[in-house]
Amino acid sequence: MMQPRALVVDDEPDAADMIKVLLQGEMSVDVCYSGAESLERVPRGNYDVVFTDLTMSGIDGLTLCRRLVENAPDLPVVVITGHASLESAVKALRVGAFDFLTKPVDPDLLTHAARRAVEHRRLRAEVKQLQERVTNMSTSTFVAGSGPMRRVLDMVDRVAVTDATVLITGESGTGKELIARTLHERSSRRAKPFVAVNCAAIPHHLIESELFGHAKGAFTDARNARTGLFQEADGGTLFLDEVGEMPLEMQAKLLRALQERVVRPVGSNVEVPYNARILAATNRDLETEILERRFREDLYYRVAVVVIELPPLRDRAGDVPLMAQRFVLRFAERHGKRVVGISPPALQHLMHYNWPGNVRELENCIERAVALAAYDHLTPDDLPARVRAYVPEQFVIEGDRAEDLIPLADLERKYIQRVMNAVGGNKSKAARVLGIDRRTLYRMFEREQGAPSNPAPPESER
């Protein structure tokens, strides 16, 4: 990484040289002794910050600051003066100064101001790049700048052209339905219907009728025959969202429909063929659901011909700025607000937060912030308190005295819980991180809960 560059402007050579000495451990420093000279040097100097004295002959510090802000608005200017007063500080900030220091300069405050200014310039540059990228991006483009999402979209591209059944997994809010729609839109079936159904939202006694349809008179309110969603998706794609919520008795019927490629409407003796590609999604760990006998293993292998696992937002933090900027423009237009971007301090909060609600939570956060925004860029005050106050969790083991240390069992339990939090509660992922079999992890949890430690094996092992 290139060392940051600073320009120090002061018509007193001794004062300018002292500032240079104090800053040299932090950055490369150039010095000039007049405001006029500095205006010539800034355009070709590629500086990250300018430090200027307030009282100088010729072009004074306020005038210099005003002209630099006009000509190079992304360049932070720190004003230094020996004539400390609230009035001079306010004047400097009004003309656009980034910070204000008084003489004699405290070395720690000077260093802190330099670091803040460099970070501010870097973030301003990133925000500008984000705005340009979003402006040139189609609204249907999936944000995939991070490695995990690039791998996901590579798999989407490869499997979209086939008719393979796909299971999309991931935590709530990661965008599973968006991936399903992308698979449909990039397939040969894109001109036909995309039919989505949330299996968790349909009452258990109605789900068979919803999926397979029913004959006239099949039950009390069945005054007319009704076509099921399998047939409505004919030629296109049927997306079974939250398939892990489907009751066991319905899972057996779904398995037969997938195996035989026919459905039997409720109350009918006639089987009807269908021609639809099946996509499914779940935020549950289906391998654990199989162990706990809440999901059929044979159905799992029918819906999981190809598995696309969506990473949580905390594992693709590099995508947060671009997604947030897209949401800003979308909601600014929707709500009629003149908000065009995100301030660097607000962007820092967004980058540091762990987003347990994933993309859905980020979208909600930005819509709220745009609705509350008083300026053309979002500020930290526009963000929810939980985002502003978030501090990354630290897992630390320390202590030199015996009484400071904890039992091994407690340490094991705390670490396992830390891993579970990191993988969003997915026991299969946690077992892989811990390097143990998932059945072993399952038994460890049962011991903690005082339950029997011999779970029934899955159907394939009985």
All structural domains of the chain, each given as residue ranges with its CATH number in brackets, are 5-135 (3.40.50.2300), 161-309 (3.40.50.300), 314-388 (1.10.8.60), 402-461 (1.10.10)
Positive or negative: CA dihedral 82, 116, 1, 125: negative
Strand partners of residue 51 = 8, 78
- Tokens encoding 235: 């030629």
Please state whether the predicted TM-score (pTM) of the whole model is above 0.85: no
Q: Please tell me the predicted confidence (pLDDT) of residue 462.
A: 37
Q: How far is CA 61 from CA 9, 23, 45, 120, 422, in A?
A: 9, 20, 19, 21, 51
Residues 6+ apart with CB under 8 A from 16: 8, 9, 10, 31, 32, 33, 53
Distance CA 411, CA 399 (A): 13
Q: Please tell me the predicted confidence (pLDDT) of residue 459.
A: 41
Distance CA 357, CA 387 (A): 12
Residue from 80, 40, 92, 91 nearest 56 by CA: 80
pLDDT string in tens for the chain (462-residue length): 578 999 999 988 998 999 999 998 889 999 999 989 999 889 887 899 999 988 888 898 889 999 998 888 889 999 988 766 667 777 888 888 898 888 888 899 999 999 999 988 887 777 677 666 655 544 445 666 678 888 998 999 999 999 999 999 999 999 999 999 999 999 999 999 999 999 999 998 889 989 998 887 666 676 788 889 999 999 999 999 999 999 999 999 999 999 999 999 988 888 999 999 999 999 999 988 998 899 999 999 999 999 999 999 988 888 898 889 889 988 998 999 989 889 888 998 998 898 999 999 999 999 999 999 999 899 999 999 999 998 765 555 555 555 556 666 667 777 787 777 777 777 777 888 887 877 777 777 776 665 444 444 444 433
CA 428 to chain centre: 22
Segments in 307-437 forming alpha helices (H): 320-335, 344-352, 358-372, 385-388, 408-422, 427-434
Q: Please tell me the predicted confidence (pLDDT) of residue 328.
A: 93
Beta strand segments in 44-129, E: 49-53, 77-81, 99-102
